[in-house]
Chain A
Amino acid sequence: MKVAVLIRPKAGILDPQGEAVRDSLTKLGFGVSRARIGRVVDLELDTSSPEEARAQAERMCEELLANSLIESFEVAVESA
């Protein structure tokens, strides 16, 4: 199964990288009041069960991919 994991800085957590990018976009002339930068992890899992794939990806986030103190995550299982 293909799974995309989206990890974001939690609301209220300072994101200096996002601020730097927002400032740069502003210099390009775009009206941007906020930019937040997270990361995407594309996974190909051995399982063929969407439910199992989702459960595994969520465990991966809890154990490694995200730090729950500062990051939230979303798991999207690609439909076959």
Chain B
Amino acid sequence: MSAPRIAVITFPGSNDDGDARLALDGLGASAVAAWHADDALPEGTTGVLLPGGFSYGDYLRCGAIARFAPIMDDVARFAAAGGPVLGICNGFQILCESRLLPGVLRPNDTQQFMCRDVTVVVETTCVPFTERCAVGDELVIPVKNGEGAWFGDNDLVHELETRDQIVLRYTEDLNGSRDRVAGVTNEAGNVMGLMPHPEHAVDPLLGPVGGRPILVGLVDAARAWRGVPVLTD
């Protein structure tokens, strides 16, 4: 069985792209570096990861400018075709600003950058990213952000709960995130974003390994994905 090719996109200001590729390679994927200015995802891509960082200096709002990167058109096509896409931290912010995911990320109510291990609870296993988990599983994964408080209005939160789109919640009120939301998916379930960094929690030598099942879920989904091949027009 060949390793699924997962494109990890580097934007100007991304800084977790290297760790993401390393983590994916260690979990059975073949991570491929992709550049924001490319017109298309690398050939044979069956999964996409948007890494953490501070794309475009967080100008205007976090993730707001990255949405206009040339490669994002192809990411949107890939997502619309059902391909698995995972956004971590700044990648989550980019997916929200691109309207591929619901809601928006706001400054932490602690008024501080936050860098520590947190515990998140798995709320649903109906998406590929948590298929290896059980509902109620607790995963310890680090966060490191200044603007990690997810927000949606009452109607949106109600919709997401009805459709099982809230995937992960913090076990504590960490940063003012609405209803302790740590990660959400799109309606189809093939695009997910989360603020904690699973790519920093895969090796027991370095600490907790709560990130493994999430990334393995992406690798599984990328291996299984048989959608239309990525166009290189």
Contacts and interface: CB of A to CB of B under 8 A. Distances in A.
Interface of A: 13-17, 19-20, 64-65, 67, 69-70
27 contacts: A13-B106, A13-B151, A14-B149, A15-B107, A16-B107, A16-B108, A16-B109, A16-B111, A16-B176, A17-B107, A19-B111, A20-B111, A64-B60, A64-B64, A65-B60, A67-B61, A67-B64, A67-B97, A67-B104, A69-B103, A69-B104, A69-B151, A69-B153, A69-B156, A70-B104, A70-B106, A70-B151
Contacts of A65: 60
Contacts, number: 33
A64 B60 CA distance: 9
Contacts of B111: 16-17, 19-20
Interface in B27-71: 60-61, 64
A14 B64 contact: no
A72 to B, nearest CB: 13
Contacts of B152: 69
Contacts of B106: 13-14, 70
The 8 closest A-B pairs by CB, nearest first: A16-B111, A16-B107, A69-B104, A20-B111, A67-B104, A14-B109, A16-B109, A70-B104
Contacts of B108: 16
A22 to B, nearest CB: 11
Which residue, of B103, B106, B151, B152, has the highest number of chain A Cβ atoms within 10 A?
Answer: B106
B21 to A, nearest CB: 30
Contacts of B176: 14, 16
